Amino acid sequence: MEFLYEYGLFLAKVATFVIAILLLVGGVVGLASKQKHKKGELEITSLSDKLSDVTDMLRSFILDKDQLKKLEKDQKKAAKVEKKQKKQDSQTDKGNLYVIDFDGSVDAHEVDSLREEITAILTIATDKDEVLVRLESGGGVVHGYGLAASQLQRIKDKGIKLTIAVDKVAASGGYMMACVADKVLSAKFAIIGSIGVIAQLPNFNKLLKKNYVDFEQHTAGEFKRTLTVFGENTEQGREKFRGELEEVHQMFKAFVQSNRPNLAIDTVATGEYWYGSKALELGLVDEIQTSDDFLLKANEDKEIYSVKYTIRKNIAEKFSLAALKSVEARLMKWWQKSQLIGK
């Protein structure tokens, strides 16, 4: 009986604690909803300064004092000459390089940050500048990646050179974005291509029928719904669905061809993918080079800036996560205590 009493007391404490946490979270959510939520913030970082810091740190370890002193003098002389030359001839200004990172998911929600980053760059960039997009994506929804490609087109429309570097993968929707660039760089073993369209879904109609469950779906319009998860699919619906996929594929091919007119589109638009070296042979990319090597080369005569738009979490989101972790920790302690009581 004593065990049952202790166990009942334990459950009462758990329930009280959980209810209290839920009320507290609810209050914070209500408070946060009344506050003006800031969507995000723009972060500008000098990659040139970062590269210089790395170089200086390594030199301080490798070179002796005399070598460092001589190097410092040479650098000061070179800086004076460069400054004087820029004053005499403004043509020596080779512009800036702006770097954007796009790591795309299936729903391409990262396009929300991409549009903010591109808008920020276009407010200040000139035709002397260049934009590098470090792109990583295996593709996803057509409308999301179509919008992402349109955002990149804005850069070219302003007369600014656009380079895209693929270190790992730019397939399907990822390649839809990549083909917009003036130049596409690829690492030797990066995955490139997959110019195709895929759609798949399960169907539970037979399972429902086996368990005597009816499913009803009513539509207005012959092809408002072609395939369904729970209803019985028809050959007519399947044919219509395949036709819609083929239509999207033709649009995809036409888009790639318009951006890379020398590409043998029927050869590469089979849904296959290739590694960087083969992609270069097929004309899908322009050069085998990693983004790191590109940045090191560009740093010789350009100032490099990373542009990143970070979407911030509101108070409710942050507090809810912390509260859940706290509840989990307390419940674990109480559970361990109850195990000891039971013994």
Q: Tell me the catalytic residues.
A: 172, 224
Contact by Cβ (8 Å): 269, 176: no
Buried-exposed string 238-276: b where 16+ CB fall within 10 A, e elsewhere? eeebeeeeeeebeebbebbbebbeebebeebbeeebbeb
Contacts of 14 (CB under 8 A, 6+ apart): 331, 334
What SS3 string covers 280-329? HHHCCCCEECCHHHHHHHHCCCCEEEEEEEEECCCHHHHHHHHHHHHHHH
Dist CA 251 CA 267 (whole Å):
16
Phi-psi region of 221 (alpha: psi -120 to 50; beta: other; left: phi over 0): left
Helix (H) or strand (E) holding 71, with range, is helix 65-88
Structure tokens at 322: 């912390």
Output helix, strand, coil percentages for the chain, rounded to the nearest 5: 55, 15, 30
Contact by Cβ (8 Å): 163, 134: no
Helix (H) or strand (E) holding 2, with range, is helix 2-34
Contact by Cβ (8 Å): 106, 140: yes
